[in-house]
């Protein structure tokens, strides 16, 4: 039961991100790209902004595919598959700290993120998700 609850919570959280990326990419909520000053700056060069929008929509589409697969696992997978899915989520999410976290932390230190210290909050949120995934596996 815990595994199902963890999967549902994650699906809900990520769905809010997908909706933000598709319909309000410039927002500073739901982990959209409005926190990056480069989002607004890119609007000055339409070709660059179109490319960034394409990448944002690509991420949203990939997340949507991923979420739909999780819904199928949630609805039709047994508890063992659900737990393995949570373990895979935990391992995959750890990759955030390899490339993305150093980059966002650097941008944060150079004043390219609003609000300040967003990278630290994001790092803690990601760690909390990893812990939540692991709790769903082992509890």
pLDDT score of 68 more than 90: yes
Q: What is the DSSP letter of 43?
A: T
For residues 103-122, average pLDDT: 96
pLDDT of residue 93: 97
Q: Grade residue 1 by pLDDT with cuts at 50, 70 and 90.
A: confident
| Total domains in the fold of the chain | 1
Q: Grade residue 113 by pLDDT with cuts at 50, 70 and 90.
A: very high
pLDDT tens digits along 33-60: 999 999 999 999 999 999 999 999 999 9
DSSP characters over 82-121: HHHHHHHHHHHHHGGGTTHHHHHHHHHHTT-BSSTTHHHH
Mean pLDDT over the full length of the chain: 96
Dist CA 119 CA 101 (whole Å): 7
Residues ≥6 apart with Cβ < 8 Å to 101: 119, 122, 123, 126
Dist CA 54 CA 80 (whole Å): 37
pLDDT score of 139 more than 90: no
**Domain enclosing residue 57, as ranges:** 2-138
pTM, to two decimals: 0.89
Share of the chain above pLDDT 70, in %: 100
């Amino acid at each position: 039961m815990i595994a199902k609850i963890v999967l549902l919570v994650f699906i809900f959280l990520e769905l809010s991100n997908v909706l933000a990326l598709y319909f309000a990419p410039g927002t500073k909520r739901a982990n959209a790209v409005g926190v990056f000053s480069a989002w607004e700056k890119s609007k000055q060069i339409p070709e660059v902004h179109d490319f960034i929008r394409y990448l944002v929509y690509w991420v949203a589409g990939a997340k949507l595919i991923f979420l739909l697969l999780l819904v199928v696992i949630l609805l039709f997978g047994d508890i063992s598959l659900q737990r393995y899915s949570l373990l895979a989520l935990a391992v995959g999410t750890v990759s955030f700290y390899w490339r993305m976290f150093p980059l966002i932390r650097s941008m944060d230190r150079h004043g390219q993120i609003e609000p300040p210290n967003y990278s630290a909050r994001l790092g803690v949120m990601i760690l909390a998700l990893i812990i939540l995934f692991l709790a769903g596996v082992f509890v």
